[in-house]
Structure 1
Amino acid sequence: MQFKELISPDKLVSVVQAKAEELLAAITTIDKRLRKSIEGRLRMARRKKLVHYFHVKSPADIVGDYIPQSDVATIKALAQKDYDKCALKELQRELFIVDKFLKEYQPERLNAVYSNLAPERQHFVQSVHLPDEEYAEQWLAVKYSGKGMAADAPLLETSRGERVRSKSEVIIADTLDRLKIPYRYEFPHQLKVRRNSRGRGVAAAIDPAGAALRNPQVNPPDDIRMQSRQPENFCRQGDGSRNLQGSPSENFCRQGNSRKHDSSRRTVAFHPDFTYLNLRTRREFIWEHFGRMDDSEYIAETLGKFETYIANGIFPGETLIFTMENQERPLNPATVEALARKYLL
């Protein structure tokens, strides 16, 4: 079972640093505005239902010069100046606190407690937070069964010697490997799909799969394998597959068994092209590549797959990345790298 960290990867420093930059930028802007502001301050006096404005030009001047209601520019300039002076003090106070925090908060010291141990001692210690390299090793060491290759499938291998199904998948895998982003190829994810109107366990959102089950002559998409058992039986098997959040499937299933069984849905093993790990956030992402977007049946299957992912809480841009291509517009390696850097680094 993969190690579960008690402390999540530190995000506080980057957030606070960004806040410090915002505060400094705001202080600079307001300070420049105050330097160019007109002399004096604004005084207001309410008489019955009317508000009168006065321009107080010196500390000795208590009343100030009356400002006509028509002179909106002067009223606005003085009101802004008074606000800016108060806001500047608060911004400077916040920046002082933030700078002090950044100097004193050193999360790397906690990591050093474990990394400074001798390897022989580390073997017996459960750290509250693992170094990225060790976390990646444990994540990659998870055993699973992929889909396998047909005997007549073309021989296409990635830079790490892994066999894949298309040249585009080679591009994706090699790009992520070059960027040192851990991935699993065709790792199974247990998803819920709707049964069809006849009550059989059909991925109703994915029409080709449903058609295959209704008609034995039609083969289902090769990344969908219907489980022959009900979800409860599958859970008891404990095959080590994991859901997208990285928790063991048996834990997920134990939670599910405590709920009322939903007869309208069935558990299906999806084998997306890639499952990637963002080491910075410890989040897993599914990466699907749709390579035949000029085939109408393939497009229908793709749309159904999107519906299934969304129904299971897997949303594009959050935990789902996808790329597409057709005969006229092949996959652009620059697009792959841009997506990887955006979501996985």
Structure 2
Amino acid sequence: MQGLRNMLLQEQKHLQEIADKARMGMSVEPEGHLRISRDKNKPRYYQCIDGNNEIYIPRSNKELPKLLAQRTYNRTVLKKVEARLKQIGKILQDYTDDEIEKIYTSMHKERQLLVTPIEPTWNQLLMKWYEEEYQGKEFKEGVPVIFTEKGERVRSKSEKIIADYLYRKNILYKYEKPLYLNGYGIVYPDFTLLSRKTGKEIYWEHEGMMDDQEYARKAIQKIESYQMNDIYQADRLILTFETKQCVLNSKIIENLTARYLFEMI
């Protein structure tokens, strides 16, 4: 299952936080545990220490029963969490998301030619997606002619910066591949990529004229349309912005890619 390891790591982190909170609460807990009985339909609280040694807690002491009950709860939570952390730790010791794929990819090349993998490898799926033809957006006359290191024409120097960075990182992308958004129509994301973890496409939109009021209005409308179609930033959408006074910095591309794109892919 793609992404299972990451899910387990996230759950491991979440459980560790719970364990830390439980231990912190236990550090200030009173001794013993709470026993509750009823007298004329009213609860009576006892602090139980060392087996059968019970101390009645008067009704005026409202805090001690709460602390004792919390102590038992925290200990029970911690016991369960530690058991689950142990299970997750054992799974993570020898589990990788691509372990089935590696059975095929680790074979000798000559043997691979004789075998059809039960499931296509990631590279096979990626290349099939990448080689699918599409009709991009046409270039109007008068638009600057800018080519990337890959030899692909783009519309701006900033798009070239992004494209060249992806190319140097060996990240396959499609430039201005059409996408239909319900309630908006067809858009042409600057870059479309494929996520290995989810098998879904990721879209990178660079909005390069945000100091132009009409351009900014249309850009915001388009971004809202992405969201209305369940495509959100840092999930399946990457956004970069630019104005005449604030140009795109290549360091931003590097940071965004490291923080979001590699995690998505």
For the superposition of Structure 1 and Structure 2, which TM-score range results when normalised by the shorter chain?
A: 0.7 to 0.9
Query: Is 1:297 the equivalent of 2:175?
Result: no
The one-character-per-residue Cα deviations of 1:34-66 (angstroms, maximum 9, x if unpaired) are 4553322222221113222122222142xx222
Q: Is the 8 A contact 1:181 1:278 kept in 2?
A: no
The equivalent of 1:88 in structure 2 is 78
Q: Is the 8 A contact 2:4 2:97 kept in 1?
A: no
Query: Is 1:288 the equivalent of 2:205?
Result: yes
In terms of Rg, which structure is larger? 1
- Taking a change above 3 Å as real, the CA distance of residues 307 and 99 of structure 1, as seen in their structure-2 partners, is closer
Q: Compute the displacement of 1:81 (Å).
A: 1.7
The equivalent of 1:38 in structure 2 is 30
SS in 1 for 2:70: helix
The equivalent of 1:51 in structure 2 is 43
The equivalent of 1:78 in structure 2 is 68
Q: Is the 8 A contact 2:3 2:97 kept in 1?
A: no
Write the mapping of 1:217-256 to structure 2, written as runs, cut at 5 A.
none
- Taking a change above 3 Å as real, the CA distance of residues 77 and 182 of structure 1, as seen in their structure-2 partners, is same
Query: Is 1:332 the equivalent of 2:249?
Result: yes
SS in 2 for 1:344: helix
Q: Which has the higher helix share?
A: 2
TM-score by length of 1: 0.64
The equivalent of 2:91 in structure 1 is 101
The equivalent of 1:320 in structure 2 is 237
Residues of 2 paired with 1:316 and 1:284: CA distance? 13
Q: Compute the displacement of 1:152 (Å).
A: 4.0
- Taking a change above 3 Å as real, the CA distance of residues 307 and 42 of structure 1, as seen in their structure-2 partners, is closer
The equivalent of 2:143 in structure 1 is 153
Query: Is 1:13 the equivalent of 2:13?
Result: no
- Taking a change above 3 Å as real, the CA distance of residues 155 and 342 of structure 1, as seen in their structure-2 partners, is same
Residues of 1 paired with 2:35 and 2:209: CA distance? 71
Residues of 1 paired with 2:28 and 2:221: CA distance? 61
* Structure 2 stretches lacking a partner, 5+ long: none
Q: Compute the displacement of 1:82 (Å).
A: 2.0
Q: Compute the displacement of 1:130 (Å).
A: 4.4
The equivalent of 1:189 in structure 2 is 179
- Taking a change above 3 Å as real, the CA distance of residues 281 and 55 of structure 1, as seen in their structure-2 partners, is same
- Taking a change above 3 Å as real, the CA distance of residues 125 and 152 of structure 1, as seen in their structure-2 partners, is farther
Q: Compute the displacement of 1:150 (Å).
A: 4.4
Query: Is 1:115 the equivalent of 2:105?
Result: yes
Residues of 1 paired with 2:19 and 2:226: CA distance? 45
Q: Compute the displacement of 1:327 (Å).
A: 1.5
The equivalent of 1:210 in structure 2 is none
* Structure 1 stretches lacking a partner, 5+ long: 1-7, 194-204, 206-267
Structure 2 residue corresponding to 1:277, chosen from 194, 206, 209: 194
Query: Is 1:163 the equivalent of 2:153?
Result: yes
Q: Compute the displacement of 1:284 (Å).
A: 0.9
Structure 2 residue corresponding to 1:180, chosen from 153, 170, 173: 170
Residues of 1 paired with 2:221 and 2:12: CA distance? 45
Residues of 2 paired with 1:78 and 1:87: CA distance? 14
Q: Is the 8 A contact 1:181 1:277 kept in 2?
A: no
